Chains A and B, each alone.
Chain A
């Protein structure tokens, strides 16, 4: 077998890929973290990246492409130092997400029309370069409108606060997110998503960083105060599944 793609990624990445594969009983389960690993090296999923995954997992390139093109978290073109994801799903949109997104597009000089899912301002990978994307619900509706930088939350944003945030990122600063650990750039975030934390301290900083807000628990608190519980699910018949259906 030739491993042309391996050259792009180097021995270290091959070793890490093997580590990921070893985590799963079936090697193909490792594809999602592998694609994150690829992004941590290249800043996106390149065709060689897909080939690399295919070779390591003994899948066809088409099978890898099927997964890589399904999820928007796998980027088709090189990303900036940071990834800015603005939630434009219903609640955030109504609360100002659309306005934030429009403002950031204008600010980054990205024009009216969106080409593809994400766009990058600046030279990808260079300090201060930014990739902007609009995201579906980020599971923080209680803090709407939200955005994320490298998947860390910035809650209750306004077009102005978001613009200021972007200015600081462009200037090479790393403003503290509303919760969770600090920003370390898109590729580092991708390494973590691949399951590599590079030292215990790093792991702890991620795990220990508080990720919940007061708003998050407010509903649960009210329910607890009133003794409310969810109704029992009814017994709905489930059709039989035949054994051995592969």
Chain B
């Protein structure tokens, strides 16, 4: 056959090769797979198992093409998805080669032999690669006349993921995704020959072909929904979406996930004003093509029964529905009164878009004349405020840590951050970095969490609350890590760092000292945006400091005011204390749950004591009970806006569900401000953003030296279990009691088991074994859970912060690093 003439050739750049595909000369990067090169050339080769982010498997054989090497044809058609291109290679796809065309047709015919062709009742029908490619590359008729293989359908791979085995083409995308990307190899190819099927250890006992046995690990993964999405047929379906809709009845809108600070790209599919499902969107810079199950499945909170759709006002102690006009008038009058009598504090919460956060920031200053505003509806500290101002504010993907930057880092040190639970997209990137680029991942935490294993990581275990000492001890006790931080290292900090005195400053010091890059990864989607928007007591929008006269004047001028309040405001705790003491008369709250606040009791006292409470909320919450006026606001899918993810990357999204009549926070505040004779110019998110952009940002303040807090003693101290006391480690799990996960029973059943974790010695100390009940208590309350033995330091217990009965703040009134009482449970 033919090779290309040697004469009229363009030179091949370094690292590239020259080959011919369907008679077309192509120069492409060495090592690329044929299927990828062809695709770039616009030559489409059918495929099922191939996925650009998975390692090649050549499992389905649908991509067979003819290949010639060194002028000689390879004896059989070859899988284009598994063969890398080389110099002088000649490829004939189905477009030019009868052999390839027939091979593909034959493979398709074989795949369809056992396929039920039940497209009319299959979730995938209408968006199915098998359907599409069978029409395009298959025979019009099957020659198979016998009975098809059947299976019991469906089987539960997990509570969320169902499998109809007869539809499966055994491409192994699901198993490869789980093993490679997520690191959860709980779903596998089982059996052989005609019985070959996907399953879990639970479905493996194949007497009667995959009868479900009561034993065995199920498919437990925070990322299981991706397997459903990349299944090229309708074999994997989600319990939540199965039989609910056809793709051609859905309207799709690109969107951004509202659940964590990663800001994953999503696609929201809705029908008649209701979201039917969410899919992962593609963004190579952020989430590639993956999202976590929370981002995918947790959206029915929007249509919960307790959703507030009309304003409520309190009359004779009872809330009643009211018109917007009436509710806004009452709110405006009473807020003005409270403002003039003692002041109003603003707690906008951590889940806002930049636009909404900006509206709160502006509303506080202009309408309420105060800097008493703090988005941090969680444990926080003054040290954290300094840290955010000097180390986080103003960083962007251009100058800071990014998702892709993690892949280039030689070492990533996670401090007080549990990436898989708190920012799953970050976890996936860390795993990829470790797996593909050899990045070393080090976790300063309390035990070997699944994420430690799955990032091939090292755990530096410390007593909770002693993370500062652990960081200070790095140089001495983990000299290799310390050294590597200086050679292209990255440090990631989580939200609970604020609970450990000295930790944020110490880590900032470590970063300066070693030259490592530093990033703060909050848990909630709105925190980073609220920081930039100035929803903090010491910061105005655009990174300006309240105590900077010039900056204040600049903002005042831009806002058309004479002056702005000069005094630095109170932080969230101080606002609540002041309200509880009767010093602040009013409170304005966004989506804040008192039980998330550092002191839930104090928060309730403050709400009860305040003369006037305005709550902007989606649904009835604990705050509603105290609110005097409740103003309904839009959920993420009902509004447009921009999240700023932890990288500082704007994640704009458009409205998905239109015409709900529900307004976003910025619009509600704008109208309320007008009632108070002030103008915010935040009628729409677009207007709000334009206003903020006009204001511009200033250079973030330079970190001041000398902030490193020196600690006495070397290395973490021992904290033996004495007199039944232990130190508490706690953080939030991805799937827990969070209200944005309400109404998702299938998702909830895939949550990790709610247990108390402790070391063997600690367990022995109180006379319990694995599975026995353990009581963790404080003067305020108790939590009783079964024990799980893990590699925690002795004298430490771990509880999930807000899972099932384990509601740490609400029940115990303590947090990470605090002392608790521990004893054997049961028998009461």
Contact = CB atoms under 8 A, between A and B. Distances in A.
A77 B206 CA distance: 10
Contact of B204 (A1, A69, A236): A69
B185 A239 contact: no
B244 interface: no
B207 A63 contact: no
Given A2-B770, A47-B215, A65 B435 contact: no
Contacts of B78: 239
Given A50-B201, A61-B216, A76-B207, A1 B189 contact: no
A237 B72 contact: yes
Contacts of B72: 237
B56 interface: yes
A48 B207 CA distance: 16
B83 interface: yes
B187 A239 contact: no
Contacts of B200: 61-62, 65
A69 B86 contact: no
A60 interface: yes
Given A1-B789, A62-B187, A246-B55, A50 B75 contact: no
A68 B204 contact: yes
A66 B188 contact: yes
B190 A69 contact: yes
Interface in B64-118: 67, 69-70, 72, 74-75, 78, 83-84, 86
Contacts of B284: none
Contact of A47 (B75, B191, B199, B213): B213
B205 interface: yes
A65 B74 CA distance: 36
Interface size class of B (residues with CB under 8 A): 35 or more
A62 B770 contact: no
A60 B56 contact: no
Given A47-B215, A61-B201, A69 B192 contact: yes
Interface string A1-43: 1100000000000000000000000000000000000000000
Contact of B83 (A63, A66, A116, A239): A239
A62 B67 contact: no
Contacts of A236: 75
B207 A65 contact: no
Contacts of A79: none
Contacts of A2: 770-771, 789
A201 interface: no
| Interface magnitude class on chain A | 20 to 34
A208 interface: no
Contacts of B177: none
Given A1-B789, A116-B207, A239-B78, A65 B188 contact: yes
Nearest to A237: B69
The interface centre, meaning the residue of A47, A48, A76 with most chain B CB atoms within 10 A of its CB, is A47
B186 interface: yes
Contact of B186 (A50, A62, A239): A62
Nearest to A244: B436
B774 to A, nearest CB: 15
A62 B199 contact: yes
B592 to A, nearest CB: 40
A245 B213 contact: no
B549 interface: no
B55 A245 contact: yes
Contact of A237 (B55, B74, B191, B192): B74
Interface in B167-224: 184-192, 199-201, 204-207, 213, 215-217, 219
A240 interface: yes
B738 interface: no
B435 A60 contact: no
Contacts of B56: 245
A47 B212 CA distance: 12
Interface in A37-93: 47-48, 50-51, 54, 59-66, 68-71, 76-77
B28 to A, nearest CB: 13
Contact of B217 (A62, A71, A240): A62
A65 B190 CA distance: 7
Nearest to A241: B84
Interface string A164-177: 00000000000000
A60 B190 contact: no
B582 interface: no
A176 to B, nearest CB: 34
Nearest to A60: B185
B804 interface: no
A239 B89 CA distance: 10
Contacts of A64: 201
Contacts of A65: 188, 190, 199-201, 204, 216
A47 B190 CA distance: 14
A47 B216 CA distance: 7
Interface string B751-779: 00000000000000000001100000000
A242 interface: yes
B191 A69 contact: yes
B717 interface: no
A239 B86 contact: yes
Given A2-B789, A47-B213, A237-B69, A76 B199 contact: no
A68 B206 CA distance: 11
B31 interface: yes
B188 A242 contact: no
B188 A62 contact: yes
24 contacts: A1-B789, A2-B770, A47-B204, A47-B205, A50-B216, A59-B185, A60-B217, A61-B201, A61-B217, A62-B199, A64-B201, A65-B201, A66-B188, A68-B204, A70-B192, A76-B206, A116-B207, A237-B72, A237-B74, A239-B67, A239-B83, A246-B55, A246-B435, A246-B436
The 3 closest A-B pairs by CB, nearest first: A61-B201, A65-B204, A66-B188
Interface of B: 31, 55-56, 67, 69-70, 72, 74-75, 78, 83-84, 86, 184-192, 199-201, 204-207, 213, 215-217, 219, 435-436, 770-771, 789
